[in-house]
Amino acid sequence: FPQVIGEAMACALPVISTRVGAIPEMVVEDETGLLIPPRDPASLRQALEALWGDPARRARMGTQGLAQARLRHDADRNAGLIFGIMEQLAQARSGVL
């Protein structure tokens, strides 16, 4: 889960990354960015040229990435969810539930 991808999305920037690990869960192909094979300079060049030549596409991807960042990667929201889960687990363990 590369932090830099979340940061780019929070800055309304389209992302170009590889299809490894959890990255495809973060970057939705042609919605929030482009996914390329690892170690493929030709694909990287093609992706860069595609976004460079299409400002409207870059803006659309950036806007959608920002929306995803706000929805899925907001630290305050996620901390609240984690604390809620922890509270439920603590209550279940103590027999409060």
Question: What are the CA-CA distances from residue 59 to residues 11, 27, 47 (Å)?
Answer: 11, 15, 15
Q: Does the structure show a pLDDT above 80 at 1?
A: no
Q: Which whole number is the average pLDDT over 3-29?
A: 95
Environment class of residue 55 by beta-carbon count within 10 Å: exposed (0-12), middle (13-18) or buried (19+)? exposed
pLDDT of residue 75: 83
Reported in sequence order, the residue ranges of 1-97 that DSSP labels E, i.e. its strands, are 15-18, 33-36
The per-residue pLDDT for range 44-73, each reduced to its tens digit, is 999 999 999 999 999 999 999 999 999 887
Q: What percentage of residues in the chain have a pLDDT greater than 90?
A: 79
CA 6 to chain centre: 5
Q: Rounded to whole angstroms, how far apart are CA atoms 64 and 27?
A: 10
- Quick one: pLDDT at residue 56? 98
Q: Is the dihedral of CA 25, 23, 3, 33 positive or negative?
A: negative
**Is this structure's pTM higher than 0.95?**
no
